[in-house]
C-alpha cells in the first residue's frame, strides 16, 4: 500500500482566534500550522490549575489553627413561682399575689378618694360612717340566722355537685379524688335537718350557689384540669377559712354549738395533703398552657366562693 499520498497530505491553515474554547478539563489555543499534520498530534493545554492550587492551599493551611464554631448555649424557660413544688403551690402563690394587688389597688383608691374629700367637713364623715356600716369590718360578722342558712344551703349544693361529678364521671383523672375524707355534703345534710327540726325555715338554693354549680358542671365536661382546680380550692378554702366562720357564727347565733359541717373524721390536714399530692402528680403531665388556665380558674373559684360567704351578712 502506497502511503505517500497520506504522508503528503497537509491541512490548510485555519484562522483561530486567541480565545480559548471551553472543554470539561482542557481547552484549545490557536494551533500553529506546523502542528496541523497527521504525523504530529495536537498539543493539549490544561485550562485550569485549580486542582493544583487547591492542593497547594490545603498544604499551606495545614499548619494554621482550626477555628471551632462556638455552640449556642441552651436557654431554659424561667419557672413560674411555686412551679418546682407543684400545681397547688402555684395556685396558692397566685392567690396571695392577687390579694396583694387587690389590696394595693384599694389603698390607692382610698387615698385618691381621701384627697378628693378634703374640705367637705361633716358630709365626708357621714359617708365614711356609712361605708363602715356597709363594707367595713364591723359588718363582716354582723350575721343573721337567715343569711347563715342561705350560706349552708348553697354550700351543700356546691359540695354535693362536685362530689357527684367525681363519683359518676368516667374520666380517669377524677377517680383519684373519690373518698378523700374531705366530703361535706352528708355533714351539711345533717346540719340542715337539725335546723329544720327546730322550726327554722331552710331556704331554697340562691343565685350565687346555682350559678357556681352550673359553671362547674359545664367545666367538668370540658376539662378535667380546670375542674380539679376548683375542686381543690373549694376544700382548701373551707378548711382554711371555714374555721374562722364557724367560730364567729357559733358565738353569735348558736350559743357555742359546733356544726357537723366543721367536723372531720381523722386529721383533716393529712386528708388535704393527700389530695394535694395527687393533684400535683397529675399536674406534672399537664401542659404549661393548661397549668396557666388552672391558675386563672383558681382565681374564679375564690370569687365564686366569696359570693356565697357574703350570704351570711346579707
Which residue has better confidence, 297 or 60? Answer: 297
Domain that holds residue 11: 6-53
Residues 40 and 156 grouped into a single domain: no
Residues 39 and 148 grouped into a single domain: no
With beta carbons less than 8 A apart as the criterion, state whether 240 and 95 touch: no
Give the bridge partners for 21, in sequence order: 28
Give the best-scoring range by mean pLDDT among 16-25, 115-124, 235-244. 235-244
- Residue at 309 is within a domain: yes
Say what the pTM is: 0.65
- Residue at 289 is within a domain: yes
Predicted confidence at residue 93, as pLDDT, reads 77
CATH of the domain at 263: 1.20.910.10
- Determine the Cα–Cα distance for residues 80 and 21; give it in Å rounded to an integer: 71
Predicted confidence at residue 142, as pLDDT, reads 73
Residues 46 and 153 grouped into a single domain: no
Residues 294 and 157 grouped into a single domain: yes
Task: Give the pLDDT confidence of 197-226 residue by residue, as tens digits.
Answer: 998 999 999 999 999 999 999 999 999 999
Give the bridge partners for 40, in sequence order: 37
Task: Give the pLDDT confidence of 97-151 residue by residue, as tens digits.
Answer: 655 544 454 455 444 444 444 444 444 333 333 433 433 343 445 788 999 999 9
Residue range 70-98: average pLDDT?
71
Cβ within 8 Å of residue 15, ≥6 positions away: none
Which residue has better confidence, 237 or 68? Answer: 237
- Number of folded domains that form the chain: 2
Residues 18 and 96 grouped into a single domain: no
Residues 21 and 93 grouped into a single domain: no
- Residue at 153 is within a domain: yes
Predicted confidence at residue 170, as pLDDT, reads 92
Residues 31 and 90 grouped into a single domain: no
Residues 207 and 286 grouped into a single domain: yes
Residues 21 and 146 grouped into a single domain: no
- Residue at 116 is within a domain: no
Q: What is the rounded average pLDDT for all residues in the chain?
A: 75
For the chain, percent of residues with pLDDT exceeding 90: 45
According to DSSP, the β-strands at 26-27 and 45-46 are antiparallel
Choosing from 15, 32, 53, the residue where a domain stops is 53
- Determine the Cα–Cα distance for residues 296 and 77; give it in Å rounded to an integer: 20
Residues 242 and 183 grouped into a single domain: yes
pLDDT band at 85 (very low <50, low <70, confident <90, very high): confident
In SS3 terms, 33-63 reads as: HHHCECCECCCCEECCCHHHHHHHHHHHHCC
Residues 21 and 90 grouped into a single domain: no
Residues 220 and 96 grouped into a single domain: yes
Task: Give the pLDDT confidence of 246-267 residue by residue, as tens digits.
Answer: 888 888 888 888 899 999 988 9
Predicted confidence at residue 251, as pLDDT, reads 84
- Residue at 76 is within a domain: no
Q: Which three cell numbers stand for residue 258?
A: 359546733
- Residue at 96 is within a domain: yes
Model confidence at 288: pLDDT above 60: yes
Model confidence at 27: pLDDT above 50: no
- Residue at 244 is within a domain: yes
Model confidence at 43: pLDDT above 50: yes
Amino acid at each position: 500500500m502506497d502511503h505517500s499520498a497520506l504522508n503528503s497530505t497537509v491541512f490548510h491553515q485555519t484562522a483561530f482566534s486567541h480565545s480559548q474554547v471551553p472543554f470539561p478539563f482542557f481547552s484549545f489555543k490557536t494551533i500553529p500550522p506546523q502542528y496541523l499534520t497527521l504525523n504530529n498530534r495536537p498539543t493539549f493545554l490544561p485550562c485550569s490549575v485549580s486542582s493544583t492550587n487547591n492542593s497547594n492551599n490545603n498544604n499551606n493551611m495545614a499548619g494554621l489553627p482550626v477555628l471551632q464554631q462556638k455552640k449556642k448555649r441552651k436557654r431554659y424557660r424561667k419557672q413560674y413561682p411555686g412551679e418546682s413544688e407543684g400545681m397547688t403551690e402555684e395556685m396558692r402563690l397566685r392567690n396571695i399575689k392577687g390579694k396583694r394587688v387587690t389590696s394595693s389597688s384599694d389603698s390607692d383608691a382610698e387615698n385618691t378618694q381621701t384627697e378628693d374629700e378634703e374640705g367637705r367637713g361633716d358630709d365626708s364623715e357621714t359617708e365614711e360612717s356609712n361605708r363602715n356600716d356597709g363594707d367595713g369590718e364591723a359588718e363582716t360578722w354582723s350575721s343573721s340566722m337567715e343569711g347563715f342558712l342561705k350560706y349552708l344551703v348553697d354550700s351543700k349544693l356546691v359540695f354535693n355537685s362536685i362530689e357527684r361529678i367525681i363519683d359518676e364521671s368516667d374520666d380517669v383523672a377524677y377517680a383519684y379524688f373519690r373518698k378523700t375524707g374531705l366530703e361535706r355534703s352528708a355533714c351539711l345534710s345533717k346540719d340542715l335537718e337539725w335546723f329544720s327540726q327546730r322550726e327554722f325555715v331552710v331556704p331554697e338554693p340562691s343565685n350565687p350557689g346555682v350559678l357556681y354549680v352550673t359553671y362547674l358542671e359545664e367545666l367538668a365536661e370540658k376539662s378535667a384540669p380546670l375542674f380539679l382546680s376548683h375542686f381543690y380550692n373549694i376544700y382548701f378554702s373551707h378548711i382554711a377559712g371555714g374555721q374562722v366562720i364557724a367560730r364567729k357564727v357559733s358565738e353569735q347565733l348558736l350559743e357555742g354549738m359546733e356544726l357537723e359541717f366543721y367536723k372531720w373524721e381523722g386529721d383533716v390536714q393529712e386528708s388535704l395533703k393527700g389530695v394535694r399530692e395527687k393533684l400535683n402528680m397529675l399536674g406534672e403531665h399537664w401542659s404549661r398552657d393548661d397549668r396557666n388556665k388552672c391558675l386563672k380558674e383558681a382565681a374564679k373559684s375564690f370569687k365564686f366562693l366569696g359570693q356565697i360567704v357574703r350570704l351570711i351578712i346579707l
